[in-house]
Amino acid sequence: MRSLTRARRPISGLATLLVLAALAGCASSSLTPSQAPQSAAPKPTLAIVNGTLVDGTGAEAVPNAVLLIAGDRIVAAGPAATLSVPADTKTIDAGGGTILPGFINAHVHFAFDESNLKAWAQGGVTTVRDESATPEQIDGLKAFRAKIEKNPNDARLISSGSMLGVPGGYGQRFVSSADEARAAVLDEVAKGVDGVKISMENGYANVHGLPVMPDDEIKVIVDTAHAHGLYVSGHITIGHYLQPMLDAGVDDVAHMPLDPAPLASLQNMVDRGVYITPTFTVLRNFGAALGTAESNLAQFVKLGGKVALGNDYGGGPGDFELGIPMFEIEEMSLAGMTPMQIIVASTSNAAHVIRMADSLGTLAAGEIADVLVVNGDPLRDVAALRDVRCVVHGGTVIRGA
């Protein structure tokens, strides 16, 4: 909300043995070494030891684990009993804490701000998705991203462009026909956006009766974006608008409805694999009672729905948390999500939503080395996520030693 103006499996025992063999210079990419060319795994440049590994997939935690990193990629992760650390490898002691993937906030604003990106990264949120920037910011997206990508202290930026709406309605870039809708998407594609955001909002705060985008324009936006490999995120706050978004083919939904969401629509989301970012924080900041939104989330999760972390930082009045959005996490907990489900929502699920599940969101060999180490055990108490010990972004240690 904003004012107008491939998840990987944990490394198996066999995979771990293959990684160990690779470190010894005798591994291959096949289960039958004699049938595949030999390839040596990169030598680790960083190891994180003496912590419990929670890899982001939902798999059982691994106590006394080792995480090996070479350059900006993870080499291996698993029990210390099966992974050795080369003697000259820089080593970080997790102090008995918990080793997690870097968190991903899949719904923020004001991410075209290096001070915000640094604060997110320092707090353990190594990737953010800006869900609607100004047209002027999108004009400069490529240059801004080229700048921040040189600095590991800045969180990674994913952009959904400027939120598309209709004249007089809710959004930042307005279209009034299917042709204009198609042209707007193509223009943003050319400017380097990662996805597209559509508004279907007839009122917010004390403003009501706003016009909403007709179904044919929504469909054109979705089809055009998908044809160019982009995701589409659909903004709603009322359950009635869920189904039109789903029928058009959106990939994720921004905001949990404030009124009772139709059960059929929630089930349809599950069946279609459409994820949701609840954004309780912004709903609270607009003065909404959260009980119904919590109930909607509980029902969605019970049906098997997939949730991604997102607090809509800066998308409304009041205070928002940079770093780990603990209010959002606490609301997920109140809605019945387990600590493991919350961690998955904040890592592999959020990576799926931003179309980076093949390289982010889990601690698995080949993934980008974004790592969060916290003191304590967030599987027992999610409040442990507040106690950040170390952050690694793209293989570079940006907090802790």
**Count of H-run helices and E-run strands, the chain:** 13, 19
**pLDDT (0 to 100) of residue 42:** 87
Q: Which of 11, 114, 29 minimizes the C-alpha distance to 364?
A: 11
DSSP H/E element including 92:
strand 90-93
| 3-state SS track over 27-81 | CECCCCHHHCCECCCCCCCEEEEEEEECCCCCCCCEEEEEEEEECCEEEEEEECC
Q: How many CB atoms lie within 10 A of CB 193?
A: 24
Q: Residue 7: inside a domain, yes or no?
A: no
109 and 94 in a common domain: no
138 and 63 in a common domain: no
Please give the tally of structural domains in the chain: 2
Q: Residue 293: inside a domain, yes or no?
A: yes
pLDDT lower than 70: segments of the chain? 1-40, 204-207, 401
**Range of the structural domain that residue 372 is part of:** 13-100+364-399
**pLDDT (0 to 100) of residue 203:** 79
**pLDDT (0 to 100) of residue 208:** 74
328 and 209 in a common domain: yes
Q: Residue 4: inside a domain, yes or no?
A: no
154 and 80 in a common domain: no
Q: Residue 188: inside a domain, yes or no?
A: yes
**pLDDT (0 to 100) of residue 119:** 98
369 and 338 in a common domain: no
Looking up residue 223, the CATH number of its domain turns out to be 3.20.20.140
User: Which residues are paired to 190 by β-bridges?
Assistant: none
**pLDDT (0 to 100) of residue 1:** 54
**pLDDT (0 to 100) of residue 310:** 98
- Taking the C-alpha atoms of residue 276 and residue 339, their distance in angstroms, rounded to an integer, is 18
183 and 52 in a common domain: no
Q: Residue 319: inside a domain, yes or no?
A: yes
17 and 149 in a common domain: no
371 and 395 in a common domain: yes
Q: Residue 74: inside a domain, yes or no?
A: yes
Beta strands 62-70 and 46-53 are antiparallel
112 and 193 in a common domain: yes
261 and 390 in a common domain: no
**pLDDT (0 to 100) of residue 128:** 98
Q: Residue 358: inside a domain, yes or no?
A: no
Q: Residue 359: inside a domain, yes or no?
A: no
186 and 250 in a common domain: yes
